[in-house]
């Protein structure tokens, strides 16, 4: 039985107490509430697996707040969000009056405190809302409702309101919210706005051919539906709104059934034909570069229609590019690629060089004392698909990364234990930064201020200041960090741990590991979705790819692929994931 002093705490404005009391009832219908108190306003986030009807849900919360007896409260703002989605489906503000505060809030399903003596008496047990087919369909779409209070929502997100801790809501500073901008009821033009959205959805559907285009149509239907659901029963055109609502729901169901899949990653295409891709990288401008096994001496280039555009040979004459000490012809051994942020230039690392002037004796078991030959970085124009320039770097270069500013290219040199910094304006290495045994993956923040380098021969990740090239460290991250991704906001870094078989999530504000997750045997490379919500991890020895939700580091899907998946890239425009399998194929998944 709930203690009466919990009610007293809630009546005094304790956010945690309010949340506990609300959840004692809401959990019975599959809803979780989080609460923030700001002066005389209450902010409530409702999270559920299905879509909540706005009107009935608002009335349910209004009555619950009234029973709690918080006479000081002037308004409550309700946000309804599907679990795992980045933004609310709807937002509703409730204005409260003194006459509404009758007696304490429900303590558990079917019980409440008597307003006079604290004795418990029965209330009708809440009836769980029936999940409609439409609700289930909505789970597949990120339907973002355009409401005037979305700025409040975004600020709460940035302050970490949804931390797993039950006490997290009380730690948020609600000062960022601006209740005056939240709508108190459906806007007078909500129906008209919904009809405009529906008209856009119809036009989109007339020309839609790809999954992405159909998804855009579905998003527009979803926004129209959300607008109509905000229309109150007292609205003069409520009957028409209800009629349109049912019509739009049918249209969305049709789009979902006939043109979209709700099951996550699905195999779209298998590309083969004499290839052995070590890595595959998306240019950001309709091209995909696959660097084939080093003895193939080729880079195969594909377009979005999965057609082979060109096979680029790694054969060069270094003397043609100003390196006169190298006579005759040479070949490389492509490993990884990175693109300039306009997609017009590809930088490709070569494990080692062959031909005149090179001993071709590189090996993964090495050190600076091994005196391995230096290698070269190729600069390839995506317009010409030819090697346009070469840059001398360290021994056995592997990973390549470009800064968002396109000022520098960074190359991790496996055997010389350092990182080459290449000035893109000069096409020249301008600095070497010593890091220790076996630097591998590189991630650069969006401001081009810091580069993170995984050092596989350690438990640490180097942090390079790109202004003065000084180095700091993220210590004890995990055994043999290999590949790195940074989220779009720059708050978290993700690392595959080759020595542990796990993926780590690192909070960059503290430099500590938030959590680790096992995805499969030998997780190697990763790709991150454009919104930072998902990681796609190749598991080399498990012959699989895992889709990881970054919010809670949960594996939400694992798909089988061909043997030895080792490289992966993500196309934000089409939401497709390209997987390079060393055994001789590229698999393309639609997500």
Structure confidence by residue, pLDDT tens digits, 222-264: 889 988 988 888 888 888 899 899 999 888 888 876 666 545 8
Highest average pLDDT, of 57-66, 147-156, 226-235, 345-354, comes from 345-354
DSSP 383: T
Residue 117 CA to residue 108 CA, distance in Å, equals 18
User: What is the pLDDT at residue 86?
Assistant: 63
User: What is the pLDDT at residue 429?
Assistant: 98
Structure confidence by residue, pLDDT tens digits, 432-470: 999 999 999 999 999 999 999 999 999 999 999 999 999
User: What is the pLDDT at residue 252?
Assistant: 85
pLDDT band at 138 (very low <50, low <70, confident <90, very high): very low
Structure confidence by residue, pLDDT tens digits, 359-410: 878 888 899 999 999 999 999 999 999 999 999 999 999 999 999 999 999 9
Who wins on pLDDT, 316 or 83?
316
Structure confidence by residue, pLDDT tens digits, 28-44: 677 888 888 877 788 89
User: What is the pLDDT at residue 97?
Assistant: 63
Residue 448 CA to residue 458 CA, distance in Å, equals 25
Residue 182 CA to residue 363 CA, distance in Å, equals 63
Cβ–Cβ < 8 Å for 319, 355: no
Residue 171 has pLDDT above 60, yes or no: no
Q: Which of 542, 573, 500, 583 is nearest to 211 (CA)?
A: 573
DSSP 282: E
User: What is the pLDDT at residue 452?
Assistant: 98
Structure tokens at 260: 């979209």
Q: Which of 571, 506, 504, 496 is nearest to 541 (CA)?
A: 496
User: What is the pLDDT at residue 360?
Assistant: 73
Residue 110 has pLDDT above 50, yes or no: no
Query: Where does 54-103 show beta strands of DSSP type E?
Result: 75-82, 90-95
Structure confidence by residue, pLDDT tens digits, 534-558: 999 999 999 999 999 999 999 989 9
CB atoms within 10 A of CB 445: 19
User: What is the pLDDT at residue 148?
Assistant: 32
Mean residue pLDDT across the chain: 82
Q: Which of 515, 520, 388, 523 is nearest to 454 (CA)?
A: 523
| Cβ neighbours of residue 53 closer than 8 Å, sequence gap 6 or more | 129, 229
Question: Which of 68-72, 269-273, 474-478 comes out lowest in average pLDDT?
Answer: 68-72
Residue 67 CA to residue 456 CA, distance in Å, equals 59
């Amino acid at each position: 039985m709930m203690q009466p002093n919990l009610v007293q705490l809630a009546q005094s404005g304790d956010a945690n107490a309010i949340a506990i009391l609300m959840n004692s009832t809401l959990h019975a219908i599959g809803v979780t509430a989080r609460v923030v108190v700001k002066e005389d306003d209450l902010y409530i986030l409702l999270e559920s697996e299905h879509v909540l009807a706005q009107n009935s849900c608002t009335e349910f919360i209004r009555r619950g707040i009234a029973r709690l007896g918080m006479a000081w409260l002037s308004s409550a703002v309700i946000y309804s969000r599907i679990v795992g989605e980045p933004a609310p489906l709807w937002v509703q503000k409730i204005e409260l009056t003194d006459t509404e505060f009758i007696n304490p809030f429900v303590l558990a399903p079917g019980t409440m405190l008597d307003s006079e003596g604290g004795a418990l008496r029965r209330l009708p047990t809440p009836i769980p809302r029936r999940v409609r087919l439409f609700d289930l369909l909505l789970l597949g779409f990120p339907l973002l409702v355009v409401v005037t209070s979305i700025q409040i929502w975004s600020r709460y997100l940035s302050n970490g309101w949804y931390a797993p801790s039950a006490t997290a809501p009380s730690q948020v500073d609600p000062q960022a919210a601006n209740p005056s901008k939240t709508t108190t009821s459906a806007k007078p033009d909500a129906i008209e706005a919904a009809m405009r959205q529906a008209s856009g959805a119809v036009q989109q559907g007339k020309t839609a051919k790809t999954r992405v285009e159909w998804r855009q149509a579905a998003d527009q239907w979803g926004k129209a539906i959300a607008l109509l659901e905000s229309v109150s029963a007292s609205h003069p055109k409520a009957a028409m709104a209800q009629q349109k609502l049912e019509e739009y729901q049918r249209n969305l169901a049709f789009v979902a059934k006939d043109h979209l899949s709700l099951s996550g990653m699905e195999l779209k295409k298998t590309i083969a034909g004499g290839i052995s891709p070590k890595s595959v990288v998306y240019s950001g401008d309709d091209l995909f570069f696959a660097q084939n096994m080093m003895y193939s001496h080729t880079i195969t280039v594909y377009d979005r229609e999965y057609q082979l555009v060109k096979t680029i040979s790694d054969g060069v004459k270094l003397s043609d590019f100003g390196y006169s000490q190298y006579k005759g012809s040479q070949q490389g051994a492509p490993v990884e690629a990175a693109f300039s942020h306009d997609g017009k230039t590809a930088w490709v690392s070569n494990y080692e060089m062959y031909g005149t002037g090179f001993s071709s004796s590189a090996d993964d078991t090495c050190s600076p004392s091994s005196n391995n030959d230096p290698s070269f970085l190729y600069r390839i124009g995506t317009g010409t698909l030819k090697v346009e320039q070469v840059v001398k770097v360290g021994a056995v270069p592997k990973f390549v990364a470009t800064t968002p500013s396109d000022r520098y290219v960074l190359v991790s040199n496996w055997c010389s234990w350092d990182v080459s910094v290449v000035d893109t304006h000069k096409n020249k290495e301008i600095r070497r930064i010593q890091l220790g045994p076996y630097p591998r993956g590189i991630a650069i923040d969006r401001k081009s201020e810091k580069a993170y380098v995984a050092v596989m021969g350690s438990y640490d990740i180097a942090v390079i200041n790109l202004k003065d090239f000084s180095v700091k460290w993220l210590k004890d991250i995990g055994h043999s960090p290999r590949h790195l991704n940074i989220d779009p906001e720059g708050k978290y870094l993700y690392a595959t741990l080759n020595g542990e078989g796990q993926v780590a999530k690192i909070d960059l504000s503290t430099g500590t590991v938030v959590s680790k997750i096992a995805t499969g045997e030998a997780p190697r490379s990763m790709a991150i979705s454009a919104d930072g919500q998902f990681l796609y991890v190749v598991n080399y020895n498990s012959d699989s790819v895992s889709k990881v939700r970054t919010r809670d580091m949960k594996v939400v899907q694992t798909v089988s692929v061909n043997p030895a998946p080792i490289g992966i890239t993500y196309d934000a425009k089409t939401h497709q994931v390209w997987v390079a399998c060393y055994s001789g194929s590229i698999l393309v998944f639609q997500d």
